[in-house]
Amino acid sequence: MDPILEVVSLLLGFIGLVMVGIAIPNRYWKVSTDDGNVITTSTIYENLWMSCATDSTGVHNCREFPSLLALNGYIQASRALMISAVIFGFIGLVATLVGVQCSKAAGEDMVLKGRITGVGGVLFFLQGLCTMISVSWYAFNITQDFFDPFYPGIKYEIGEGLYIGWFSAVLALTGGSCLTCACKLGTSEKQPYPYQPRGRVYSGVAPSQSQAATSYGQNAYV
């Protein structure tokens, strides 16, 4: 496997993991819309953990969701997926650091290191998949309520936290796919074959110089 591709994929997965860590605590997963409102006195924004509001004077008030079971199902699922993405990404980062060719942690066995790198690539891919499902599911519910003319509650728009999550998912999926597809899983080291000369091999004692001259003299007069 190309060492440059390993390093690039590792960087993509690492940046994706960092972006997941930024997206999870970001408060602006959804922001209340001003569409259809003549006078707006406050703005409400939420994420997976709390709901906040800011008034026209710039004062922010936030409160955490009081009950986990009282939340909508998609919020609970998004929480679980984002936490799973962090776990997958961290383990994938450690595995890739051990398995890259420039690392000495796994010794000099390139087959073993390739398999460890492949496992890291799969974990990076799972990280991106969990993140993509979480933010896309959350965004789907936002747009569904926004375009529903009979929805009685507050309508929201997509916030910056979801865009950070999408960017993180793309990076992790790209890095994981490159590592998984490029590493050589299950390959074995090539063993050198013994050299076998072509033709027949005769074994025996070479005739002495006197014997060879005698036989030549006898054959010369026949």
Q: How does residue 210 score in pLDDT terms, banded at 50, 70 and 90?
A: low
Asked whether residue 39 is assigned to any structural domain, the reply reads no
pLDDT tens-digit series, residues 160-200: 999 999 999 999 999 999 888 877 544 444 444 444 555 55
- The length of the chain is 222
- Write the secondary structure of the chain as one string of H (helix), E (strand) and C (coil): CCHHHHHHHHHHHHHHHHHHHHHCCCCCCEEECCCCCCCCCEEEEECCCEEEEEECCCCEEEEECCCCCCCCHHHHHHHHHHHHHHHHHHHHHHHHHHHCCCCCCCCCCHHHHHHHHHHHHHHHHHHHHHHHHHHHHHHHHHHHHHCCCCCCCCCEEECHHHHHHHHHHHHHHHHHHHHHHHCCCCCCCCCCCCCCCCCCCCCCCCCCHHHHHHHHHHHHCC
Asked whether residue 204 is assigned to any structural domain, the reply reads no
Asked whether residue 101 is assigned to any structural domain, the reply reads yes
Q: Which domain holds residue 161?
A: 13-30+72-185
Sheet of 42-46, strands arranged across: 60-64, 50-55, 42-46, 30-32, 156-158
Asked whether residue 212 is assigned to any structural domain, the reply reads no
Query: What mean pLDDT is reported for the chain?
Result: 81
Is the pLDDT reported for residue 141 higher than 90?
yes
The residue to which tokens 């091999």 are assigned: 201
Indicate whether this model's pTM tops 0.85.
no
Predicted confidence at residue 41, as pLDDT, reads: 67
pLDDT tens-digit series, residues 33-59: 876 554 566 788 899 999 988 887 778
CATH of the domain at 110: 1.20.140.150
User: What share of the chain in percent tops pLDDT 70?
Assistant: 77
Asked whether residue 211 is assigned to any structural domain, the reply reads no
Of 27-31, 132-136, 181-185, which range is least confident? 181-185
Is the pLDDT reported for residue 125 higher than 80?
yes
Asked whether residue 82 is assigned to any structural domain, the reply reads yes
Asked whether residue 43 is assigned to any structural domain, the reply reads no
Strands 50-55 and 42-46: antiparallel
Q: What is the Cα–Cα distance from 60 to 58, expressed in whole angstroms? A: 6
Asked whether residue 150 is assigned to any structural domain, the reply reads yes
**What does the block give as tokens for 217?**
């003299």
Predicted confidence at residue 211, as pLDDT, reads: 53
pLDDT tens-digit series, residues 55-86: 877 788 888 888 888 888 999 999 999 999 99
Predicted confidence at residue 94, as pLDDT, reads: 92
Predicted confidence at residue 40, as pLDDT, reads: 60
> How many structural domains does the chain have?
1
Q: What is the Cα–Cα distance from 147 to 145, expressed in whole angstroms? A: 6
Cα angle, residue 135 at apex, residues 132 and 138 outer, rounded to 5°:
140
